[in-house]
Amino acid sequence: MQLARTPPPSMEALLYHAQMQGILPLTSRCNMQCIFCSNAYNPETCEVFTIPPRRLEEIEDSILWLTGSRGPIVIGESVTRITEGEPLTHPEFPQILKLLRQHYPDRIIRVTTNASLLNPELIGLLSELEVELMVSLNTVGHREQVMGDKQPESTLRNVEGLGGKVRFEGSIVALPFVTGWDDVSNTASFLKESGAWSIRIMSPGFSRLHPLWKDAASFDVDEARSFSQDLQKDLKIPVLFEPPGITSVTPVVEHVLPRSPARRAGIRPGDVITEVLRRRVMTRTEAFELIRDHEKPRVAYDRQGVLYETVINKQRFQPSGLVMYDDLDLEAWFEWERESRVKRRRVLVLTSALAKPVIEDALELRGLTTAVEGVPSLFFGGNIEAAGLLTVRDFLAAYSEIAGQGSEFGAVTLPKRAFDPWGRDLEGVSYKTFEQLSGKAVVLA
Ligand code: SF4
């Protein structure tokens, strides 16, 4: 089906919006060629933008815009439509970090890197400026095959050099059908021994155009999740699997960092946070953010049916040491309740299959009944499932099937993250096209 596309915004507007969310794109260039890179194998009409290394003067001007969020300043993570490459390939990377720290002495600065271009001098600077890293390591034993790393020993030495100097997390895209599970386990152990404070293991997501998509589709997510839990027990650091497979918004603590304020306050993995500042909390995200944003928050928690109370002795915005999955932003949820008028009319919520049980749980807690449907990705195909990668084409296909069964809805909710700030999906098609073709009002949330 041909759907009308609206012209893309200017690069200045895209950069401005990224920066208002605390994201600072530096360059789309990368020195690796990962077989799982999301920058390759997109359908032809997928709208992504590549940028050369940005000029230092331009970055200096735009640093002032990183004010729209209180969260970390993020470099090198692909969360917008601007293709993120390897930030350390930017020739002025050290100067950029110095400028950032000068402007934002207290903000967390987080850089995602493949670690191949680190060196002792740069590690010293990262340590001095208290910059955090997300090291996308992926494999220790198959680096050339998986990432195109021509100097694997040197990259691994760089990661070992971070230990005790730079706070970092490690990430692994699990490709057991290429590397075997032993390599995933060895990579996690290597990261822990090198000083990583936590490890993320990610399920591979490949579009139908990727030669390995069938292998990725047969990837056993439950097996991988329990493998990650076993690793967490062995390594005694947080090992978080993505997607987490959560089916409720119950504020469960996944892990508590050693020697952290939360550990000293007595909180343990598996505890459920019930109140923060004597206020009942509904979701993980709500509990986590309330604790993060307050000084010495009083917290009530449930451990196997017994209620406890404690005070987490920490400063405002200082990390508590609690590790919890992200689920629902409560402010956005209440805004959706108001805008959709879900208490007075039947709303159809179209989302990813992954988010469906979480939304259903939140609806039940709020005493609301409405239909929630998981939408498969036709545009990307393969084993792509994330709500942010769904398109108007996918929503229309799902809607016509549901409407064909005779259900009536006053409005349809589509996931906001599938659209850019101008309401355009990854093909440049506006959500208004969905309204025109379905005849239903859309509320983004
Ligand atoms: S290091 Fe990151 S940006 Fe570079 S090829 Fe690999 S996944 Fe893509």
User: Does residue 117 have its Cβ closer than 6 Å to ligand 1?
Assistant: no
Residue 28 covered by a domain: yes
The residue-averaged pLDDT of 136-153 equals: 98
Interval between CA 35 and ligand 1 midpoint (Å): 9
Based on the domain organization, do 235 and 99 belong to the same domain?
A: yes
- Clarify whether residues 221 and 284 are in a common domain: no
The answer on 306 and 404 residing in a single domain is no
Determine if ligand 1 sits within 6 Å of the CB of residue 114.
yes
From 187, 214, 242, give the residue that closes a domain: 242
CA 171 to chain CA centroid, Å, is 12
Q: Is there a single domain that holds both residue 35 and residue 136?
A: yes
Residue 34 CA to ligand 1 centre (angstroms) = 6
CATH of the domain at 204: 3.20.20.70
Residues contacting 80, CB < 8 A, separation 6+ = 14, 17, 18, 21, 23, 25
Q: Domain span at residue 23? A: 11-242
Residues 335-352 have a mean pLDDT of 96
Are residues 134 and 259 located together in one domain of the fold? Answer: no
Residue 160 sits in the same domain as residue 303: no
Q: What is the pLDDT of residues 239-282, one digit of tens each?
A: 999 999 999 999 999 999 999 999 999 999 999 999 999 999 99
Assigned domain for 285 exists: yes
Domain assignment present for residue 98? The answer is yes
Residue finishing a domain among 297, 323, 349: 323
Burial, 106: exposed, middle or buried (Cβ in 10 Å; 0-12, 13-18, 19+)? exposed
pLDDT number for residue 10:
93
CATH number at residue 308: 2.30.42.10
Q: Is the Cβ atom of 34 under 6 angstroms away from ligand 1?
A: yes
In this structure, is residue 271 part of a structural domain? yes
Which DSSP string do the residues of 222-262 spell out, in sequence order?
HHHHHHHHHHHHHH-S-EEEES----S---B--EE-TTSHH
The pLDDT value recorded for residue 71 is 77
Instruction: Write down the pLDDT at residue 138.
Output: 98
Q: Are 261 and 294 in contact (CB under 8 A)?
A: no
Same domain as 345, residue 313: no
The 10s digit of each residue's pLDDT in 47-89 is 999 999 999 999 999 898 897 667 789 999 887 889 999 999 9
Pair 224, 280 in one domain = no
Residue 134: CB within 6 Å of ligand 1? no
In a domain, residue 6? The reply is no
- Determine if ligand 1 sits within 6 Å of the CB of residue 88: no
* pLDDT number for residue 23: 93
Span from the CA of 240 to the centroid of ligand 1 (angstroms): 21
Closest atom, ligand 1, to C-alpha of 36: 7
DSSP E strand stretches across 8-100: 73-75
Report residue 40's pLDDT band, with 50, 70 and 90 as the boundaries.
confident
**Position 317 confidence tier, pLDDT thresholds 50, 70, 90:** confident
User: Can you read off the two tokens belonging to residue 18?
Assistant: 């990224």
Angle at 1 between CA 437 and CA 214, to 5 degrees: 120
3-state secondary structure of 136: strand
- CA distance readout (Å), 23 to 15, 26, 110, 228: 9, 10, 10, 29
Considering the domain architecture, whether residues 336 and 375 belong to the same structural domain is answered as yes
Domain endpoint, select from 242, 270, 285:
242
Model confidence over 318-331: pLDDT tens digits? 889 999 999 999 99
CB half-sphere exposure, 422, CA atoms < 13 A: 18
Residue 116 within any structural domain of the chain? yes
One domain for residues 317 and 364: no
Question: Is 117 among the domain residues?
Answer: yes
Same domain, 150 and 286: no
Into how many domains does the chain fold?
Answer: 3
Identity of the residue numbered 166? V
Q: CB-hemisphere CA count at 13 Å for 308?
A: 14
Whether 169 is in the pocket of ligand 1, judged by its Cβ within 6 Å, is: no
Domain-embedded: residue 248: no
What would the mean pLDDT of 222-239 be, rounded to a whole number?
A: 95
Q: In what order do the strands lie in the sheet with 347-351?
A: 371-374, 347-351, 411-414, 441-444
Give, using CA atoms, the residue closest to atom 7 of ligand 1.
37
User: Are 78 and 156 members of one domain?
Assistant: yes
Ligand 1 centroid – CA 85 distance (Å): 6
Asked if residues 418 and 389 have their Cβ atoms less than 8 Å apart, the reply is yes
- Mind listing the pLDDT tens digit for each residue in 98-120? 999 999 998 889 999 999 999 99
Give the global pTM: 0.92
